Amino acid sequence: MNYYKRNLDVFSKKIREYCPDIEPIEDRKTGNMGNTLWMIEQIPFMTDQDKIGRWIGWIQSKVHSAGLATLDEILDLTRADLANLNTGTS
């Protein structure tokens, strides 16, 4: 199962640096960064690869729209995660 470990690790760190007091919380109404952190924490426990892909896309869009990562950074992270999937490393 690919859960985009590099994406999750980097984005979690960037969000916590950007919002040091934020806590992960399920909050689908506002979709704030606390909800994004909650989503990051949930992904490793998921078994539906399609849902993981949708959630990763949402997380990437939130991080990008907040100015925490460029599109090139996001693409590089995703390529690294997919390369690891193909080689069987994490």
Taking only the tens place, the pLDDT of each residue in 19-72 is 999 999 998 887 799 999 999 999 999 999 999 999 999 999 999 999 999 999
23: left (phi over 0), alpha (psi -120 to 50) or beta: beta
The whole-number pLDDT of residue 89 equals 60
Question: Among 37, 84, 77, which residue's Cα sits nearest to residue 59?
Answer: 37
Total domain count, the chain: 1
Q: What is the maximum span of the chain, computed from C-alpha positions, in angstroms?
A: 39
The whole-number pLDDT of residue 88 equals 61
Beta carbons within 10 angstroms of residue 80's beta carbon? 15
Residue 9 domain boundaries: 5-87
Taking only the tens place, the pLDDT of each residue in 4-13 is 999 999 999 9
In sequence order, what are the residues at sequence separation of 6 or more whose Cβ sits closer than 8 angstroms to the Cβ of residue 13? none
